[in-house]
Structure 1
C-alpha cells in the first residue's frame, strides 16, 4: 500500500501562512511595550518576554536549519540559555540573555533562512519532513509561546498595551443546559492529522458510557452563585489538596477578580471592568473547577468524554477533526487567534457546535478535565521525549479545546494541553458533566 501523494505546493503554502501568522503575532506582543517591560520578569511563573522571543528563534534554528536543513549552528553559545529544561522560568532573568534588538535580529535572520529552506523542501524522506511536519511543529511552538506571552501581558502591571475588538454580542443563550452524549465506542486521537503532535497519537477505540455535558462552558454568573453560596468556605466541595491550597493562598475568587461596591470587578490586560455575567469563567485552577462541579451536583468530564462530545458524529459514526466537521476553523466557528482578547458570551458560534449540539468546545477558554495527562496506547515519543513523555503522570491535569489566545494551527479536536492543578494564570475555564444514570 503506497502513501497518499502530497500536494507539495499546498503544504508549502500552509507552512508559509502558519509561520507568517505566528511571527506577526510575536512581533505585536514584543513591540507594544518598551524595552524595560521586555526584559523584566512580570511574574516568577513566566519568562521575560525577551527570553520567549529568542527562544522562538533558537528552536526554529535547531529544528529547521540544523536538523532538517543540516546547517551549521548560527549561535551555538546561546543554546543553553534558551533550553527550557536547563533553566526554570524563575531564574531566566538572571541569565545573560540577548538584549531585545539583538534577539529580534537573531529571530529574523533565522526566519529568513528557514523560509529559504521551505522554498526548496519536498516534504518527504523522513517522518520529520513528511507533509511539512517540522514546519508545522515550529509554527505551533511559536503560537504556543505567543499564548504564553499573552499570559505575561495579563500579569504585567501598568497601562493597557494591547487592544482588540470585543466578540459580537449575542442574545442570551436559551438552549438546553446540557446535552446527552450516547454511550458506546468512538475513535479518540489521530493517526492521520499531518501536524498532530505525539501525545495526540495514535488513534484508538475508546468505550465511553452515556453522559450529559454542559451545552456551554460555565459562566461568570454561574460561578458567582458558587461564591455567594460560600463555596470557597465549605470544605465539602474540595479535595483535601484543593482545600489546603486555597486556604494556604487565601483564594476566594478567580484570579484577577475583586469585590468592590457590591459588584465583581476584574483586571484584563491593564483595564479594570465589571465581570461580564454571560462570559465563560476564566482564570480558575483545576481545584476550583472541581469544587464548583461538586457544589453543582456534577463533575468534570473525563478527557475521553470531552473528546467524544467534541468529535463524535453519531449519524455517520465517525470522529471529525473539529466539532463542526473537518474544515479548518473560520471566524464563524470559534473564538481563536487572539482576535478578541476575551471569551465570547456563552452560546456564541452556533456554526461551530458539535453534531450533538454542544457549543464552544473549541476556543474561548481551555477546559479542565478530570483526567491526568497520560499516554495513549501505542504512544511513541516524537521528535523528542521532552515534548510530552516527561510530563506524563498524575501531577498534571488535561485541558482541552483551546482558548481565545490560541491560534488555529495549535488547536484541534485532538489537541491536548496539560498543567498543574494549581495553575490560574492560564486562560482556563471548564464545563461540567454527569453520568446518564445520575
Structure 2
C-alpha cells in the first residue's frame, strides 16, 4: 500500500497555479545564484568538474524550450541554433568554457523569452490527456531539472575563490535531546519506489515489493566529530579499512580529510562558501566521497546501508505497513521538518529536526546531506524509460553509486522518499555525507 500525492487532489486551475509557482521558485533561485557574482565569475570555470555558471543558466532555458515550448506546446523554436551547445551529452564539463556560449546578458534574455512562452503553453494546457502532461508532469520535470542545476550551481559557488557572495541564516540548533546511536529497523517486506507519485522520475518507478532483513541504522548521519575520530585514529593511513579501489583512489588523490578541510594547529578549519571557520563537531560530515564513507564504516565495524535499507528506514510505517512519501508522513517538507532548498548554507546539527524523524526514530533522512549507499545505480524491476533514456538509463551499471535523501542545497520539488541520485564514487564536490548500518544479530531480535 502506498500514498498518493496532494497534486492529484487539485482541480485544473489550482494545478496550473501550483505548476507556475514551482517554475517561478526555481527561476528565482537561479537568478539568486547567477546575480550574486559579476560577469567574470559567470563565464569562467571555477573547477574542471563544473560548467561555467553561464552555461548552466542557458542550459536550463534550453531544456525548458525543448520540452515545454516545442514538445508540449508545439511552438516554433526560440533558438534551435544553440541546441548542441547546451546538450550535456555532447560536451564534457571541462570542455564547455571553450564553446561559443551565450554571454550573460544574452543568456538572461534567452531564458526570459523561453519562460514567457512556457507560461503561455501552461495557460493553454489541459494538463491531462497524455502521459507527458498528466498532472503537469512535463512542467514538474522541468522545475525539478532547474532546481537540480541550481544545486549544481551552488556546488560551483562552493568551489569558487574569493569573498562570500551568498548569505543565509544559520540552521536551527539541536532540539531533540540525547539520541540513541542506532535504531533497529525490523525485517520484512515493504513497498519500494512509486507508481503513484505524479512527478516521480522514471528511475523511481515502478513500486515493487522488497524484503529487507532486520538491521540497525545510525540514528543520524555521521557527524564531523565522529569522522574526526577516524582521522585521528589514522584511518586515512590504514589500507585495511579501504577497498582496493578506494585505497588506490586515496593514494592517487592524496586524500587525508574531507574536501575543503585543512589543519590549523591541533584543530581543523573548513572553507564554506568563502567563509573560513572551525569545523563544527555536531554537523553531519559533508564533501566526502563514497570510498571515504566506506572506509569509515569499516573502521567503525559497520557498513554502508543498501539503497533498499535506506528507503525502508525513510518510508516504511511499521504500524500500518504503508510506505509514506517522507519519514514523517505524506505532507510536503516544511522548515520545521528538513533542511532543504538552500534555506541555510550548511547542514544542520544532528537533532535539529525532531519533527522530521521517522516512526522508528531515525532523524534527518531528508535534507542536510546526500547519503551514500552501497548500491550501484540500476533500474527497478519493470523499469520503463520515460520520457527519454538520457535521464536515467544511460547511467545504469556499476560505475555509479546511489545517494539518497537530498542535501541542504536540494529543493523539495526534487526531493522525496523515493528520489534517487547517483554519482561516481570518487566525487567530493557534491554535498554528500553518509550514515552507517549493521546486520542485526539473532539475539537482538529475540
Normalising by structure 2, we get a TM-score of: 0.96
Aligned-partner Cα distance in 1 for 2:441–2:13: 51
Residue 424 (structure 2) pairs with residue 420 (structure 1): yes
Query: How far is 1:437 from its partner?
Result: 1.6
Aligned-partner Cα distance in 2 for 1:33–1:374: 38
Distance 1:260 1:320, change over 3 A: same
Q: Look up the match of 1:295.
A: 299
Residue 70 (structure 2) pairs with residue 71 (structure 1): no
SS in structure 2 of the partner of residue 185 of structure 1: strand
Aligned-partner Cα distance in 1 for 2:336–2:383: 34
SS in structure 1 of the partner of residue 123 of structure 2: helix
Aligned-partner Cα distance in 2 for 1:146–1:293: 31
Out of 305, 310, 316, the residue aligned to residue 320 of structure 2 is: 316
Aligned-partner Cα distance in 2 for 1:5–1:329: 18
Aligned-partner Cα distance in 1 for 2:32–2:246: 37
Residue 192 (structure 2) pairs with residue 193 (structure 1): no
Q: Look up the match of 2:101.
A: 97
Q: Look up the match of 1:432.
A: 436
Query: How far is 1:170 from its partner?
Result: 2.2
Aligned-partner Cα distance in 1 for 2:282–2:10: 45
Q: Look up the match of 2:173.
A: 169
Residue 402 (structure 2) pairs with residue 398 (structure 1): yes
Q: Look up the match of 2:32.
A: 28
Q: Look up the match of 2:84.
A: 80
Residue 170 (structure 2) pairs with residue 182 (structure 1): no
Aligned-partner Cα distance in 2 for 1:94–1:346: 43
Would the aligned equivalents of 1:173 and 1:346 in 2 still touch at CA under 8 Å? no
Residue 98 (structure 2) pairs with residue 117 (structure 1): no
Query: How far is 1:180 from its partner?
Result: 0.4
Out of 272, 275, 282, the residue aligned to residue 279 of structure 2 is: 275
For 1:14-25, what aligned pairs fall within 5 Å after superposition? 14-25=18-29
Out of 309, 327, 339, the residue aligned to residue 305 of structure 1 is: 309
Query: How far is 1:10 from its partner?
Result: 2.5
Would the aligned equivalents of 2:175 and 2:353 in 1 still touch at CA under 8 Å? no
SS in structure 2 of the partner of residue 216 of structure 1: coil
Would the aligned equivalents of 2:175 and 2:354 in 1 still touch at CA under 8 Å? no
**Structure 1: gaps spanning 5 or more residues:** none
Aligned-partner Cα distance in 2 for 1:103–1:47: 14
SS in structure 1 of the partner of residue 376 of structure 2: strand
Q: Look up the match of 1:41.
A: 45
Q: Look up the match of 2:360.
A: 356
Aligned residue pair count: 435
Q: Aligned-pair RMSD on alpha carbons?
A: 1.0
Residue 393 (structure 2) pairs with residue 386 (structure 1): no
SS in structure 2 of the partner of residue 318 of structure 1: coil
